[in-house]
Structure 1
Amino acid sequence: MSEEPQPHPFLDPSFHVAWSSLEPAAIEADITLAMSKAQQNVDAIASQDSEAATYESTILALEDAVEELYRAWGYADHLSSVCEGPEIRKAYNAMLPKVTEFSTRIYLNEKLWQVIKTVAEKPEIKQMPPVHQRLVEDTLRSFKDHGADLHNDRREEFEKLSTELSQLTQKYSENVLDSTNAWELIVDDEAELTGIPESAKEAMKEDAAAKGHGDEASPKWRITLHMPSYLPVMQYCSNEALRRKVWEASSKIGHTEGHDNTPLIGKILKLRQRKAELLDRKDFAELTLAQRMVKNGKAALEFIETLHDKVEAPFREEMAELRVFKSGQTGSAPDELMEPWDTTYWAEKRRQAEFSFDEEELRPYFPIHHVIDGLFALTERLFGVSIVKRSTFYRDPKTGEEKHADEPGDLDPIEVWHPDVRFYDLLDEDETHLGSFYADWFPRESKRAGAWMNALRTGGPTKKGFRPHLGLMAGNMTKPTGNKPALMTHREVETIFHEFGHLLHHLLGKVEIRSLNGTNVAWDFVELPSQIMENWCWEREALDLFARHYANDETIPDDLFAKMLAARNYMQGNATMRQLSFGKLDLDLHINHANDAADRDLDALIDEILDGYSAQYATKPPSIVRRFGHLFSGPTGYACGYYSYKWAEVLEADCFTRFKEEGVLNRETGRAFRDCILSKGDSEPPEKLFRDFMGRDPDSDALLRRAGLLQEV
C-alpha cells in the first residue's frame, strides 16, 4: 500500500485522499502555494482585453481558477472539524485570515470586475443555454454582494472586516468545542444513575474506563456534554440533583472562563451589520436573503410569526398538561413552574404513561449496520442507484502502521482519517460511478458536536463523461458497547437519514456548472432533500428494510410500531416552538439588534426578543446563543437563515404527500424526485423545481397538518 509521498499533499489531485499525508505542518506551505497559483489564474483572466474576452475565458474560467485552493482548504477545514488538536488548530488559524483575505480580494479586483462586467453585457450571453446565463447572473450578484462596486475608501474596510469576521467566528467555534470537552462528571455510585437505560450506563462505564477511571471490580461512570451521554441523563435519570448538575454544565457551554462567547456575539453582529451597510443594504438579512426563496428579512419574520401564532395555543396547552402530569406523580401544585432540568424527564414519563411507549424499546431494532444497510437499500430502490461498501484502512500517525477495518476485497482499500470511518461508492443503474462518500458517526473529543454533510469534491462534465463527486457525512451517535453493536435511538436514525439526504443532493447532481451543482442552492431550499428523507423512518415498508433486532433479526412488533406512530406527534407544539424561537432569535438579532447587542445584557435582550416563544420556568435558563454554532461558527452560515429549517419542512412535508399517494417505495416517484430536484442543484429557481415535482405551488399548511397542530376553523 505504500506510495511515494506527495511534495504538497493538500494539493494532491487524487480522488481518494491520502489523509495520513495531510499533516498540519504542510498546511502553510500547501495553502500558500495554492493561493499563489490561484492568483496567477485570476490575474490571467483579469489581464485580458475586455473586448476580446469571452464567457469561457472569464466567468467560466473563474470556476476553475480557484478550485484547487478551495479543495485544499476544504481538507484543512474538514480536519479541524474531525481531528482537532493543538497542531491543526494552530496551523489552520494561521492561514485562515490569509485565505479569507485572498477570497475577499478576488471580488475587490477592479480589473477582473471590469472584464467580467464587459463580458456579461455582450449580446451573445443572452443566446447561451439558461444554466450558463444563470451562472453569469450569479457571478455578477456575487461580485456585487462581496464589494466589487465599493469605492476605494470602503474597500479596505470591507476587506479588513471580512478577515476579522472569519477569525471571530472560528474562535467562537473553538470556545464551544473546548468548553464542551472541559467538563466531565465521574460517578462512583451506580444508584445515582437510577432510571438511565442500561445501554447508556454501559457506554458511560466504558468511557470512564478508557479515561482511567474505575475497572470491572470497581466500576465508575463518566458523563460528558456530548449528546449520547447528556441526553439519557436528562430524559431518564430519576436523580433530580444529577440532572440539575448536568443541565447547569450544559447551559454554560460557550460561557465559561477562557471560553466565553458573550463578547464575540456582539462583535460578530456588528461586523455583519457593517458589512451590509458598506454594500448599501439595511441589514445583514437584506444582504443574505435577496436570492433565497423568502426574498427578505420581513418575509422571513412574517413566516416565523405566522407559524408561531398557529402553534402557540397547542404549545401552551402541552406545557400546562405536563405540569398537571408532574403534579399527579409528585404532589406538586398543578400550576407550579417546572425547572428546566425537569422538562425532558417528565415529558418522557408522560409519553410512557399516555402511550405505553418508551423510545428505548426501539433501540435494539436500530443497530447502526442495519440502519445503514436499510438506508442504502431504500435509496437503491427509490432512486435507481447502487451503493458499494469499500474496505478501508487507517494509518497510525505514530507508527505508520496500516490498520484495516475490513478484509480487503476485489478493490483497493481506501484510506480514512479515523478507524471508525467507512467509505462507499455510489453507482448508477448502468454502473457509472456517480460519486463516493465517507461516513464518520461516533463522537470523540477531537470532533465538533452535531451532525453534518460536506462536499469534498464536486464533479462535472468531461470528454469521457461526468466526473464523480466526493463527499462525507458525520455525526455524534451512540457508540458500540461491550459485545453489542452501536444501537441507535429513533432520532439518531432520523439524523443519519437527514445527512444522507444532503449527501444524495450532492452525489446525484448533474449540473454542468460546478458552482450550481448539488447543495449549492438557495439556503431555504437546501434542507428539502435532507428533511424529506426522515419521513421514511416512520413508514412500515421502509422500516422493515432496516429496523431489525440486533439479537434475533426480528422486525419491530406491530404493537410497538402502533405505539410509536401514536406518539409521533407528542409534544410537537413544544418541538415546533423551539425551532421557531431559534429562527426568531436569529432574525431579530440581525435585523433589530445588530448594533446594540454588545451594549445590552445578552440574556435580558433575548428574553425580550423571545417573549411568547418560551415556556416559563422556576429557574430561568440562559439562552442557547453562546453555543449556537449554526449562527456564529462561520462568517455567514445559517445567520438570518435558521428559519429555513421550518421553511424547507413545509416543502418536504408537502412533497412527501406525493410519495404517500403513489407509494412510499414507488420507483417512478423516487425517480421523479431525483430528476426534478436532486439532480438539478441550482440550475433553475427552486420554486420551479418544486412545481416540476409537485405540479403546483407549496401547501403552506402541509407541515402543521402532519404534525397534528392545524386547528381547523
Structure 2
Amino acid sequence: MAAPFLTQDFHIRWSTLTPDHIEADIRTALERAQANLDALIDQDRGKMNFDSVVLGLDETTRELNEAWGLVTHLDSLCNSPALREAHNKMLAEVSAFFAKIPLNEHLWDLLVTYSKTEEAKKLTPVRKRALEESMEGFIQAGADLPPEKKKRVEEIESELSKLTQKYSENVLDSTNKWELVIDDVSRLKGLPPSAIEAARADAVAKGLGTPEKPLYRLTLKAPSMIPVMEYLEDEGIRRQVWEGASGIGRGGEHDNTENVFNILRLRHEKAQIMGKPHFADHVLAHRMAKAGRSALRFIEDLYSRVNEAFKRETIELQEFRADTAHQSTDLFQPWEVSFWSEKQRKSKYDFDEEELRPYFPLDRVLGGMFQLAEKVFDLRITSREAVYVEPGKDAPVSISAQPGKAGPVEVWHPEVKFYEVRNEKGVHIGSFYADWHPRDAKRGGAWMNYLKMGVPPSGERDRRLHLGLICGNMTPPVNGKPALLTHDEVCTVFHEFGHLLHQLCGNVEIPSLNGVSVYWDFVELPSQLLENFCWERESLDLFARHHETGEVIPQRLFKKMLAAKNYRSASDIMRQLAFGKLDLELHMNHATTEGADLDQLARKILNGYLMPLKTEQPTMARRFGHLFSSPVGYAAGYYSYKWAEVLDADAFTRFQKEGVLNPAVGREFRELILSKGNSEDPAKLFHDFMGRDPDAMALLTRAGLA
C-alpha cells in the first residue's frame, strides 16, 4: 500500500503501518502541509472570509496531524527498536514544523487583518471564539516576538520534543528491564490467588518455568506491583519491588535526572522569551486558573484543609501497626505503608478489595458501562467484528475501510476491540478502539486519545465522524478465565470512558473547538464525573455481577465498600496535592536551579506534604510522565486533577438529588458540557449545568472531611 500513514480510510489498516513507511509518508505530509499554509497566506485578502482563514488554518495540517498521530500512537502501544528509530528520526522535524506555524509573520498578519474586517466583527459567538482562541494561541506561541526570539523558540520546541521523548523512553525501558523471578510459591504468601496465577502466567509467557516446576515473575507494571505492595507478607520481596520502582528513570543508562533539569530550563527560557516570569504563568494564562500563583494558592488552601486529618491518619496507622505487631510506635519504611494500610482497612471495615474482584469481569463492566451510556446519556454503543493482521501480511478476509461497509475492522493487537457510537436518533457520531491489558511494547498507565476529530454536518458538508481510543494496563485474563478487575481499575475504565464521551459527543462546527480541546483544568470534569457511577448502587447493579453466578454485589459487601470508601481519604488527597505542589514549585521557583540534588530539592518543596518515613524516597520526578514525557503535557497543570475534582464532586450532586440514572440530567450534561467542547468559557458551561458557580466544599464533603 503506497503511503499507508496518509490513508484517508476511517477504519485504519494497522498491518500496513510499518516503520519503513514513516519517514517518506511524514515527509510527504510535511510538504503538503507547507503547501497548504503557503496557499492560505497567498489568498486574495479582498475575498478572505471565516472559512478561508480560520477553518482554512485548521485544515492545512489535518493530514499531517492524523498521520503523525498514528506514529505516536504506535510508539505508545507497539514500541519496537525499528519504530522508535523511525519515530525519533522525524520527531524534531515535525515539532519544528508545528512550532513555526504561529511564528510565521505572514500567517499572523493574515489573522490580524481578517480580525479587523467587517465580517469578523459580526461573527456568531462560536465563530468569534474560534478566531479569538486561534489568535490567543498564536500570541502564546510567540507570534508577537521579534525574528531572533522567534528563531530561539523554534529551537527550544525542537529540543524539548527530543528531550521529552528520551525521558519517556527511559521510563519505559527501565520499567521493562526490571523483573523478579520467584521459584518458591510459599514466598508469595498473602498475595491473592489471582495475582499468584498472573505471576505464573507472566513467567510462562516469557518462556520461564515448566508445569512441573512453575516460576513466578513479578514486574513493575501496575497489575503486578500493586498487589505485591498491598498483600505480600515477605517484606524482603516488597522491599525489592519498591527499590525497583524507585529506580525507574534513576541512575545508569536510563537516568532522567539531567533530562528533568534540562526540560525545566528550556520551558523557563521559553516563558521568559514570551514575557512571563515562569512557565506556569505562560501555560496557565489560557486555563481556568489564569496564573501559577492562583493554582499554587488552590493547592495550598486544600492542603491547609486536609493537613490535620492527614497527620491524624498517619498516627493512627503507626499506632495500628504497634498494637497489631506488639511493638512500639515508629516510622514506617516506604515498602510497609501500603501493606499496613490494607491490613488496617481490613481490620476497620472487615473489607478486602479482593472480595469485590469476582464482581468485576472486564467484559461485563464494559457492557454495563455502555448500558449506562444509553440510559443516562442516550447513546448506543455496539461492537464491530475486529481482526488482527500481522504487519506486512495480507489480510485473510475482506476488511472494511469505511463506516457502513461490510467486513471486520482491523486492529493493532489481537486483544483490541472496536465499537461504534450512535446518538438517540441512530446517527453514527463516532467509533473507538479499546485496548485494556499490559504488554512490554505498551507504555504504562491509562489514557484516551483521538485519531480523527469529528465535526457535525453543516451546509454542504457531511458529518465527519470522531475516531477515538481508550487504553489501560488492567489485570489480564489468566488460564481462560475472564479478566477480573479491582474496583480501582473499574474506576479507571470509567474515567477514560468519560474522556472518550467528551470527545465523541463533541458537536461543535469548528474542529479546533471540538471534543476534548478544552482548557486543561476543565478536561478532567467529564472523566472524573463518570467515576462517581462506580460507587452508586443503581449504576453498580448494571455491571457489577459475579462472573460465575451473575449475582449483584451483596448488600453487606456493598455497605463495607462504602464504609471503607473514605478510608485514609486525607492521605489520598495529600498525595495528589504533593504531585501538584512539586509540579508548580519546580516550574515556578526552581527551573534554573543549578547543580541541585533533585531528591533533596523535592523533599524541601514537599516538606509537610509527605508521610514521614525511615528511608527517604527518591523523588517521583524522574518517572513522572505527566510532567516530562511531552513538551507541555500536564507541566504546571497537574493541579488540574484536583481543580476538576471540585467541579465533578459538585456536578454529581445533581445526579444524587435528581436520580443517579436520571436521563434528563444525563442529557443536560451531554448537551451543556459534553457536546460543547471549547465553544464557550468553561466557567459558563459549568454554571449552565448547575445554575450556579462551583461549591468548593463538595469535594471535602464527598471525602468525608467536611
Once the two structures are TM-superposed, the CA of residue 15 in structure 1 deviates from its matched residue by 0.7
Residue 550, structure 1, aligned to residue 547, structure 2: yes
Unaligned runs of 5+ in 1: none
Tell me by how many angstroms 1:402 deviates: 4.5
- Cross-structure match for 1:383: 377
Cα deviation for residue 282 of structure 1 reads 1.1
Partner of 1:534: 531
**In 1: Cα distance, 2:398 partner to 2:574 partner:** 46
The equivalent position to 2:366 in structure 1, one of 369, 372, 379, is: 372
Matched, 1:259 2:254: yes
Cα distance between partner residues in 1 of 2:575 and 2:398: 43
* Secondary structure of 2:335's aligned partner: coil
Post-superposition offset of 1:394: 0.2
The answer as to 2:142 corresponding to 1:147 is yes
* Aligned-residue offset at 1:398: 6.5
User: How far off its partner does 1:113 sit?
Assistant: 1.2
- Aligned residue among 102, 105, 109 for 2:100: 105
* Letter aligned with residue 354 of structure 1: K
Report the counterpart of residue 663 of structure 2 in structure 1.
667
Does residue 14 of the first structure (1) align with residue 4 of the second (2)?
Answer: no
Q: Which residue matches 1:595?
A: 592
**Aligned partners of 1:94, 1:278: CA distance in 2, in Å?**
28
The equivalences for 1:154-173 within 5 A come to 154-173=149-168
Which letter does structure 1 place at the counterpart of 2:652? F
The answer to whether 1:424 aligns with 2:419 is yes
- Mapped to 1, the partners of 2:79 and 2:297 lie a distance apart of 40
Aligned to 1:115: 110
- Residue 689 of structure 2 is aligned with which of 681, 689, 693? 693
Aligned with 1:473 (options 467, 470, 475)? 470
Preserved CA contact (<8 Å) 2:303 2:577 = yes
CA drift at 1:148: 1.3
Distance (whole Å) between structure 1 residues aligned to residue 543 and residue 398 of structure 2: 26
**2:641 paired with 1:635:** no
- 1:256 CA displacement: 3.3
Looking at structure 1, the residues matched to 215 and 565 of structure 2 have their Cα atoms a distance apart, in angstroms, of: 35
Query: Is residue 649 from structure 1 mapped to residue 615 from structure 2 by the alignment?
Result: no
Between the aligned partners of 2:395 and 2:30, the Cα distance in structure 1 is: 33
Q: 1:466 Cα deviation (Å)?
A: 2.4
Query: Which residue number in structure 1 is paired with residue 32 of structure 2?
Result: 37
Q: Hey, what's the Cα distance between the residues in 2 that align with 1:410 and 1:128?
A: 39
2:502 alignment partner, one of 481, 505, 517: 505
Q: Which residue of 2 aligns with 1:705?
A: 701
| C-alpha separation in 2, matches of 1:245 and 1:662 | 50
Q: Which residue of 1 aligns with 2:355?
A: 361
Q: 1:46 to 1:426 in 2, by over 3 A?
A: same
- 2:580 corresponds to: 583
Residues 15 and 393, structure 2, Cα contact 8 Å, conserved in 1:
no
Maintained 8 Å contact 1:421/1:438: yes
Is 1:433 aligned to residue 453 of structure 2?
Answer: no
Among residues 57, 62, 68, which one is paired with 1:62 in the alignment? 57
1:155 positional shift: 1.8
Matched residue type, 1:348 = E
Q: In structure 2, how many angstroms separate the alpha carbons of the residues matched to 1:422 and 1:404?
A: 18
Residue 389 of structure 2: which of 385, 388, 395 is its match?
Answer: 395
- Letter paired with 1:224: T
Are residues 1:282 and 2:264 paired? no
State the shift of 1:56 in Å: 2.2
TM-aligned CA distance change 1:123 to 1:357, over 3 Å: same
Match runs of 1:40-439 below 5 Å: 40-334=35-329, 336-397=330-391, 400=394, 402=396, 411-439=406-434
- Between the aligned partners of 1:55 and 1:410, the Cα distance in structure 2 is 35
What is the rounded CA distance, in whole Å, between the counterparts of 2:107 and 2:647 in structure 1? 39
Once residues 461 and 47 of structure 2 are traced to their aligned partners in structure 1, the CA distance between those partners, rounded to angstroms, is: 30
**TM superposition shift of 1:399:** 5.1
SS in 1 for 2:425: coil
> Using the alignment, how far apart are the partners of 1:410 and 1:513 within structure 2?
27
CA contact (8 A) 1:51 1:118 kept: no
The 8 Å contact of residues 446 and 473 in structure 2, kept in 1 or not, is answered as: yes
Counterpart Cα distance in 1 of 2:398 and 2:118: 58
Of the structure 1 ranges 433-442 and 118-127, higher mean CA displacement relative to structure 2 is found in 118-127
Indicate the residue corresponding to 1:571 in structure 2.
568
Contact residue 582 and residue 606 of structure 2 kept, 8 A:
yes
The 3 A distance-change label for structure 1 pair 204 and 468 is same
Deviation at residue 313 of structure 1 after TM alignment: 0.6
- Residues 487-525 of structure 1: CA deviation (Å, up to 9, x unaligned): 000000000000000000000010000010010000000
SS in 1 for 2:217: strand
Contact 1:393 1:404 (8 Å CA) reproduced = no
- Gap runs ≥5 in structure 2: none
- 1:404-435 Cα shifts (integer Å, max 9, x gaps): 99xxx994211000001000000111110010
Kindly indicate whether the alpha-carbon contact (under 8 Å) linking 1:395 and 1:403 is maintained by their aligned counterparts in 2: no
Q: Matches of 1:287 and 1:480 in 2, distance apart?
A: 45
Q: Quick one: which amino acid aligns to residue 277 of structure 1?
A: Q
- Residue 626 (1) aligns with residue 622 (2): yes
- Deviation (angstroms), 1:96: 0.4
AA aligned to 1:569 is N
Deviations 1:341-392 (A, max 9, x none): 0000000000000100000000000000000000000010001111011110
TM superposition shift of 1:59 = 1.9
In 2, Cα distance between the equivalents of 1:289 and 1:453?
23
Are 1:484 and 2:478 counterparts? no
Distance in 2, matches of 1:403 and 1:261, equals: 46
* CA-to-aligned-CA distance 1:597-655 (integer Å, 9 cap, x gap): x5201111111100110111011111111000000000000001000000000000000
RMSD (CA atoms): 1.4
3-state DSSP of counterpart to 1:679: helix
Amino acid at match of 1:604: Q
TM-superposed deviation, 1:401: 5.7
| Distance (whole Å) between structure 1 residues aligned to residue 267 and residue 158 of structure 2 | 12
> Which whole-Å CA distance do the structure 2 matches of 1:702 and 1:517 have between them?
29
Contact 1:494 1:537 in 2 (8 A): yes
Partner Cα distance (1:220, 1:283) in 2: 51
SS at match of 1:56: helix
SS of residue matched to 1:341: helix
| 1:25 counterpart letter in structure 2 | D
Q: d(CA) in 1 for partners of 2:463 and 2:703?
A: 41
Q: Aligned to 1:423, what secondary structure does the other structure show?
A: strand
Give the deviation of 1:331 after TM superposition: 2.1
8 Å CA contact 1:454, 1:472 repeated in 2: yes
Report deviation, 1:483.
Answer: 2.9
